[in-house]
Chain A
């Protein structure tokens, strides 16, 4: 029983991380139909940024967010103005295809550039609480895992409140529901897209911290993009509230598959789940019809 609970808790911890990973991708996809597969690479870069801020400025990893998130906001801003802005005028399917291709190029550039700059060695930020656990009825809960869950809840709630309670958030939701109609209502759609793309990239900072606390290397970006896509589909396209749920589902399924099928096929089970959902319920498990 304790073993099962232990596995379940690991599922929840990695699930919270998956939810964070998918959040930025989901926001960008929901608002402007861009499939930014470079998101995993951006998270990887965020992890390196966290690593260097912790190393040079002696910051706590979670404190380094006050630096990392604005930096990635700017990176998203620049990426949008430099590359993605050109695609806004294209029809829906072309938009999707071209954003997929361009961000795929960025993914290649980032992961290989990072390998060139910082080698493919595994790295991690070591803190005083790394490896510390709370023992709760025989179940060992690592501090970092608990912090991840807390962070995921805070960030998802924050984004949710931003989208529902602020004027600009409402504009973003308007654009995501109907691009044309939003522009007729006097919303500056280009600016909304720019801002939500930048926010989406800035959201890469949060999973970046959690990844930095585990071991990571530049290759992790492919894996992260992959996880983000799975969660995006599980949650339902454009459903931000579903992201946490989708992440948790994937995390728990993966953890359970370690228990039942063995660690070698952990990824396969998640991917199979993904393919099945894609085939039979492409709008996602809890999503609205696309």
Chain B
């Protein structure tokens, strides 16, 4: 009951915060947190729960962003363009993502990385230019709208992952992660569950891509395909706690704050800090920052899935 009240209070605070504090800076940070939390949860479903470490999420993120931009600039309103972007991402996943499950374990990781690079180079060659917002669309552009959209998508994503973690589907995904052969042996169709995980994951990545394309005014067409969009969600999920509901959200907050702290002083090199934080997390905190809470106070009653890892 107490935790429910806490969550309700948190949601309310997030909704009214931008109205109380009229600061564009804060709004930008909040949008980024929502965007990264959504994207890393998208990675988390496939990598954290199902154990398929994808290094190619930028492809689906980029597909969502590309579709959104084209439709939005073409005159379609943003609330229609957003699901269309997610759909495009799903279609792309069924074309290149599902076959990639022929690659198992680490082959999947490096294979998806190769696919992401192919996508990046192809988009760089086909669309070398910069994408601008047209004047008509500029009227629709408001940080507050983007924030509520990003926040809504973020909350829906977290709710979806929470529901997933407590469902039979979630258990099946975890079983694939823990031991694929054993899961197959007890009658779980591992390929089917991997495909399901990837579908959910790519749809969410497509939504995140759409929000990026809505939020960023001017960028190179290939910017959302950059490899960083594959690596960041992985870093965030591991720093926060992969395979948990809260982990990627905590990770996203830490990620955005650290980036904000170091970007001013170190510039692009702030990635160096994440490399160090990442190694420390993998070596000493396999459960991520969320795991610290578990170490400090003994876990009472957590769901079986959330306790894994």
Q: Which residues of A contact B (CB under 8 A)?
A: 35, 83, 86, 93, 96-98, 100-102, 104-109, 112-113, 115-116, 222, 226, 229-230, 233, 264-265, 267-268, 271-272, 274-275, 278-280, 282
Name A83's contact: one of B99, B113, B279 (CB within 8 Å).
B279
CB-based contact A108/B271 at 8 Å: yes
What is the total of A-B residue contacts with beta carbons within 8 Å? 101
Flag if B272 contacts A113 (CB, 8 Å). Answer: yes
10 pairs of residues in contact across A and B, judged by CB atoms under 8 Å: A107-B275, A108-B274, A229-B114, A268-B121, A275-B111, A278-B102, A278-B110, A279-B102, A279-B103, A280-B102
A-chain residues with CB within 8 Å of residue B105 when the two chains form the complex: 93, 96
B117 to chain A: which residues have CB within 8 Å? 226, 267, 271
Answer whether residue B122 sits at the interface, using C-beta atoms and an 8 A cutoff: yes
- Chain B residues with Cβ under 8 A from A97's Cβ? 53, 106
Name which residue of chain B comes closest to A92, CB basis.
Answer: B105
Q: Which residue of A lies closest to B280 (CB)?
A: A105
Distance (Å) between the CB of A17 and the closest chain B CB? 19
Among A96, A115, A278: residue with most chain B CB under 10 A:
A278
A275 touches B278 (CB 8 A): no
Q: How many residues of B contact A (CB 8 A)?
A: 36
Say how far A189's CB is from chain B's closest CB, in angstroms: 21
Q: Is A100 a contact of B283 with CB atoms below 8 Å? A: no
Contact string, B120-137, partner A, CB cutoff 8 A, digits 1/0?
011001000000000000
> Is residue B107 contacting chain A, with contact meaning CB distance below 8 A?
yes
With a cutoff of 8 Å between Cβ atoms, the chain A residues found around residue B122 in the complex are 265, 268
Q: Are A101 and B282 in contact (CB under 8 A)?
A: yes
B125 to A101, Cβ gap below 8 A? no
Within 8 A of A (CB), among B30-70: 53
Residues of A within 8 A of B109 (CB): 100
**Whole-angstrom distance from the CB of A230 to the nearest CB of chain B?**
8
**Bound CA span A97–B115, Å:** 19
CA distance A107 to B272 in the complex (A): 9
Known: A112-B275, A226-B113, A282-B103. 10 other contacts (CB 8 A): A108-B278, A113-B269, A116-B266, A226-B114, A233-B107, A265-B122, A271-B114, A275-B115, A279-B103, A279-B111
Q: Is the interface of A mostly helix, strand, loop or mixed?
A: helix
The interface residues of chain B lying within 8 Å CB-to-CB of A278 are 102-103, 107, 110-111, 114
In contact, A101 and B278 (Cβ under 8 angstroms): yes
A280 to B171, alpha carbons, bound, how many Å?
30
B261 at the interface (CB under 8 A from A): no
Residue of B nearest to A35 (CB): B106
Q: Shortest distance in angstroms between B180's beta carbon and chain A's nearest beta carbon?
A: 9
Question: Are B125 and A264 in touch, CB under 8 angstroms?
Answer: yes
Chain A residues near B283 (CB-CB < 8 A): 83, 86, 102
**Complex contacts, A267 vs chain B, CB 8 Å:** 117, 121
A222:B227 contact, CB within 8 angstroms: yes
Contact B114 A265, beta carbon cutoff 8 Å: no
Give min CB distance, A190 to chain B, whole Å: 18
Residues from chain B with a CB closer than 8 A to the CB of A101 are 238, 278, 282
Q: Which B residues are in CB contact (< 8 Å) with A233?
A: 107, 110
Q: Could you tell me the distance in whole angstroms from the C-beta of A150 to the nearest C-beta in chain B?
A: 30
CB distance from B127 to the nearest CB of A (A): 13
Complex contact A105–B121 (CB within 8 A): no
- Contact, CB under 8 Å: B106 / A102: no
Q: Which residues of chain A are near B276, meaning CB under 8 Å?
A: 105, 109
**Residues of B265-289 whose CB lies within 8 A of A:** 266, 268-272, 274-276, 278-279, 282-283
Bound CA–CA A32/B113 (angstroms): 23
Q: Measured between alpha carbons, how far is A96 from B51 in the docked complex, in Å? A: 13
CA A156 – CA B25 in complex, angstroms? 56
Q: How far is the CB of A277 from chain B (nearest CB, A)?
A: 10
CB < 8 Å neighbour of A115 from B121, B231, B268: B268
Contacting residues, chain B, for A264 (C-beta < 8 A): 121, 125
Kindly list chain B residues whose C-beta atoms are within 8 Å of the C-beta of A96: 105-106
> What is the chain A residue whose CB lies nearest that of B109?
A100
Contact in complex: B227, A108 (CB < 8 Å) = no
* Residues in chain A near residue B238, CB distance under 8 A: 101
